[in-house]
Amino acid sequence: ELLMLDEPIAGMSARERDLTAELLQRICQNRAVIVIEHDMEFVKKIAHKVTVMHQGKILAEGPMDQVQADPKVIDVYLGH
C-alpha cells in the first residue's frame, strides 16, 4: 500500500502538526508513504529518507542530515 500526501499540515496549528507527525509515524510502519512538504521541521519528525527536487530533477537524496549538508542543496535553497 502507498499513501501520498501533498502539504498535509498546511494551515494546521502546532498541536495539529505534532499529532499528524505521530499519526504518520505509525502509518509508516505498515506502508510506504510519500509526503510533499516544505516544513523541514515536520519532515525531520517523520522522514527516514528525504529527496530534494529542483527544476523537476532529483538534487539530493538520503537521510535528512546528509541532505541538509549537501552543497548543492545549500546553494540552491539557501543561496550560498
Q: How many CB atoms lie within 10 A of CB 33?
A: 19
Beta bridge pairs of residue 60:
52
Instruction: Report residue 4 CA to chain centroid gap.
Output: 12
pLDDT given at position 24? 96
Which of the four pLDDT bands, split at 50, 70 and 90, describes residue 53?
Answer: very high
Cα angle for residues 24, 66, 32 (degrees, 5° grid):
30
Could you state, in order of their start, the residue ranges of all structural domains in the chain?
1-38, 49-80
Does the pLDDT of residue 72 top 80, yes or no?
Answer: yes
How far apart, in whole angstroms, are the C-alpha atoms of residue 37 and residue 46?
11
> 1-32: per-residue pLDDT in tens?
899 999 999 999 999 999 999 999 999 999 99
Q: How many CB atoms lie within 10 A of CB 26?
A: 8
Which of the four pLDDT bands, split at 50, 70 and 90, describes residue 80?
Answer: low
Beta bridge pairs of residue 3:
33
